[in-house]
Amino acid sequence: MGFDNLTIIGERINPGFRSVAALFDNDDIAGIQALAVRQAEAGAAYLNVNCGRRSLTDPDFLRRVIEAIQDVVDVPLSFDFPNAGVQELCLNVYDFDKAGGRKPIVNSIAQTRLDMFALTRICPFKVILMASERVEEGVGRSNRTAGEIHETARQLIEAAHQSTGSFEMDDFIIDVSISTMAADRDGLTRMALDGIGLIGSDPALKGVHIMGGLSNIGQQMPARAADGSPLGQKLENAFLTDAVPLGFDFLLGTPWKDYAPLGDDDYVLKTFREVIALSGMDALRATRRLYRAG
């Protein structure tokens, strides 16, 4: 692990990963347990649990998965369902004793579903707050500036404090959302980094955590960078190299990946920094240089 103070929420228990989908299709609880153990042993501080559609249609299965995971690991869980009913089931099943008394994470609450703060009636929890979207005139909208991300984070925390729940700043994990660079004509990666900077330096938000899921960043691009290195992994590390010093301290990721800072002379990091300084066609041209020489 190359970054100090970077907490990993293991992302692998999710049928969205093709290699994992079969475990869910076949009710392979032992396989899911093995995946939980592997992530915990690799350093995950939390395990994200996403059962896909079955979380809505098969509550008994969801219950069995949570209990089975807690039978084999003592790390707290992160329940990844944007649905109050499913979260209610998860929080009721969650065994604090098996997690050493540590709180689970509700993943996630956005301005479009503030009623989920009321889930604290079941038990205390940490919560991932989606700062990438806001509600405007009753409609959910994606944020397009770092200032909007920062403001949304502040509003979400204010809403949490005004709810019936009792939250400490340490309970808030602000998700800034990290976009696919291959489609980033609008400077969204720059926006995420600037948003992290604003949140990380805001005295009113002191003590909160800042996170994002990195697996999107290298999507829709080839496997290898122009210098022959693994492009996806390098892009994830390039982002972390610049984000961690700004306050980014939680990562939804794969714990056995080699997350480590890149040197300033690294080809992918240098090109990454060129790309995020640009927008429009210029950004796309620079993005091509990540994987196309010349």
| Per-residue contact flags (x/-) with another protein for residues 145 to 164, judged by CB under 8 A | --------------------
**In whole angstroms, what separates CA 184 from the centre of its chain?**
19
- Name which of 103 and 287 has its Cβ closer to another protein: 287
DSSP state of 246: G
CA 83 – CA 106 distance, rounded (Å): 10
CA 186 – CA 191 distance, rounded (Å): 9
Give the closest residue to 253 by CA, choosing from 39, 21, 106, 34: 39
**In whole angstroms, what separates CA 123 from the centre of its chain?**
22
Written as six digits, the tokens of 272 are 């990454």
**Chosen residue from 33, 55, 87, 241 binding another protein by CB under 8 A:** 55
Contact flag: residue 2 with another protein (CB under 8 A): no
**Cα distances (Å, whole numbers) of residue 106 to 118, 129, 172, 190, 210:** 12, 9, 10, 27, 15
CB of 65: closest distance to another protein in angstroms? Answer: 14
Amino acid identity for residue 161 in this structure: H
**In whole angstroms, what separates CA 234 from the centre of its chain?**
18
**Per CB under 8 A, which of residues 251..290 are in contact with another protein?**
280-281, 284-285, 287-288
Q: What is the dihedral of CA 281, 283, 286, 287, to 10 degrees?
A: -110
**Chosen residue from 110, 199, 211, 214 binding another protein by CB under 8 A:** 110
**Which residues lie closer than 8 Å to 19 by C-beta, 6 or more apart?**
none
- Name which of 21 and 30 has its Cβ closer to another protein: 21
Q: Which stretch binds another protein (CB under 8 A): 49-57, 160-168, 207-215, 263-271?
A: 49-57
Contact flag: residue 1 with another protein (CB under 8 A): no
Q: Which stretch binds another protein (CB under 8 A): 5-13, 47-55, 67-75, 193-201?
A: 47-55
**Chosen residue from 3, 46, 81, 259 binding another protein by CB under 8 A:** 81
Q: Which stretch binds another protein (CB under 8 A): 5-13, 59-67, 132-140, 253-261?
A: 132-140
For another protein, the binding residues (CB under 8 A) are 15-16, 18, 21, 50, 52-53, 55-57, 81-83, 110, 112, 130, 132-133, 139-142, 179-180, 182-183, 185, 216, 220-222, 280-281, 284-285, 287-288, 291
